[in-house]
């Protein structure tokens, strides 16, 4: 009976999302581009309600103020803080810093970090399997007066971890929210560890909890228009992987519910 009632509620919410919800710019964008697309996340970060008629803007305000999106905005802020810490610690021992995001999307947090170090020799290379996000990120970077290099690459293939100059800092935001198998996360982290120089840093996020994971997965689609399949990870598993690979945790920042820890770890 409980499952039956839940299915009724989900069906009703889907109808609302597909009808009245389309008056909200945010919900409409999620329906068109995907709940976790780069464009959707940019819209969430901007946090400015818009929609058709007064009701659309009101619905959009409710949507943007959902606790889950509040957590995502906090994740972005924590990414920037950890990145700034990594840059500053690197600048203590050398006069230049190279950042590489292995699955960057539009890379709003990278651009914000570069803006904070315009007077320093801090550069960024963006990599993603989808060139659309890389081109969008480059355009945004130009608008903010910073420069980024970019190239299409698969963050799980060793052949795509070749660098003329090894990055001092690797970044992965939201990348591990989709993998059900521990060995895939281990594979990714091992590739990053191998590519980092000694004392280099890795900044990444983990989805350790969610306000309404089952509901969200059943109602929305991802950026490939497939049914959403986000998962959460136990931090004990993540910390075990890091330790076995050889990383040392320097700093962990998170929202107050611990849904999105952002870790700054070091290869020592």
| Chain segment 66-84, per-residue pLDDT in tens | 888 888 899 999 999 999 9
Per-residue model confidence as pLDDT tens digits over 153-166: 999 999 999 998 99
Whole-angstrom distance, CA of residue 160 vs CA of residue 54: 48
User: Tell me, what's the pLDDT at 5?
Assistant: 46
pTM of the full predicted structure?
0.86
- Tell which wins on pLDDT, 124 or 222: 124
For residues 79, 82, 83 and 84, what is the CA-based torsion angle, rounded to 10 degrees? 120
Q: Could you tell me the CA-to-CA distances from 65 to 44, 46, 57, 58 in Å, in that order?
A: 9, 12, 12, 11
Spatial strand order in the sheet of 97-101: 149-152, 122-128, 97-101, 169-172, 201-205, 262-267, 247-253
Q: Is the pLDDT of residue 226 over 70?
A: no
Percent of the chain with pLDDT over 90: 54
| Residue with more model confidence, 32 or 155 | 155
Cα–Cα distance list, 258 to 8, 73, 243 (Å): 30, 13, 20
User: pLDDT band at residue 217, thresholds of 50, 70 and 90?
Assistant: low
Provide CB contacts within 8 A for 121, sequence distance 6+.
Answer: 95, 96, 97
Using CA atoms, how far apart are residues 13 and 107, in angstroms rounded to an integer? 31
In the beta sheet, which residues pair with residue 51?
A: 24
What gap in Å lies between CA 155 and CA 187, rounded to an integer? 10
Token pair listed for 266: 């070091």
User: Minimal CA–CA distance to 68: which of 106, 26, 10?
Assistant: 26
Spatial CB neighbours of 16, under 8 Å, sequence gap ≥ 6: none
| Domain architecture of the chain: domains with CATH | 2-65 (no CATH), 70-267 (3.40.50.150)
Q: pLDDT by residue (tens digit) across 179-188?
A: 889 999 999 9
Which residues have a Cβ under 8 Å from the Cβ of 45 and sit 6 or more positions away?
A: 73, 76, 108
| Distances 224 to 57, 140, 207, 247 between C-alpha atoms, Å | 27, 22, 20, 33
CA distance 123 to 117: 9
* Residues constituting the chain: 268
pLDDT 10s digits, 92-151 = 999 999 999 999 888 889 999 999 999 999 999 999 988 888 988 898 999 999 989 999
DSSP secondary structure letter of residue 128: E
The answer to whether 87 and 113 have CB atoms below 8 angstroms apart is yes
């Amino acid at each position: 009976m409980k499952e039956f009632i839940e299915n009724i509620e989900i069906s009703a919410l889907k109808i609302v999302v597909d009808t009245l919800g389309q008056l909200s710019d945010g919900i409409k964008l999620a329906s068109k581009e995907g709940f976790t697309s780069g464009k959707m996340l940019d819209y969430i970060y901007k946090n400015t309600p818009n929609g058709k008629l007064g009701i659309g803007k009101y619905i959009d305000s409710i949507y943007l103020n959902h606790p889950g999106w509040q957590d995502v905005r906090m994740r972005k802020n924590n990414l920037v803080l950890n990145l700034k810490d990594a840059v500053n610690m690197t600048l203590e021992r050398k006069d230049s810093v190279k950042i590489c995001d292995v699955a960057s999307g539009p890379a709003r947090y990278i651009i914000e970090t570069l803006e904070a170090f315009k007077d320093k020799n801090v550069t960024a290379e963006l990599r993603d399997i989808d060139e659309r996000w890389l081109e969008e990120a480059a355009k945004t970077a130009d608008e903010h007066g910073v420069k980024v290099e970019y190239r299409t690459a698969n963050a799980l293939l060793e052949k795509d971890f070749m660098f003329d100059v090894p990055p001092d800092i690797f970044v992965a935001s939201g990348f591990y929210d989709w993998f059900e198998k521990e060995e895939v996360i281990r594979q990714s982290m091992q590739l990053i560890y191998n590519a980092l120089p000694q004392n280099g840093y890795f900044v990444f996020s983990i989805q350790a909890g969610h306000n309404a994971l089952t509901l969200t997965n059943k109602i929305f689609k991802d950026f490939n228009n497939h049914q959403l399949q986000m998962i959460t990870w136990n931090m004990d598993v993540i910390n075990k992987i890091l330790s076995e690979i050889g990383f040392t945790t320097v700093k962990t920042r998170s929202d107050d519910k611990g849904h999105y820890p952002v870790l700054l770890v070091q290869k020592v």
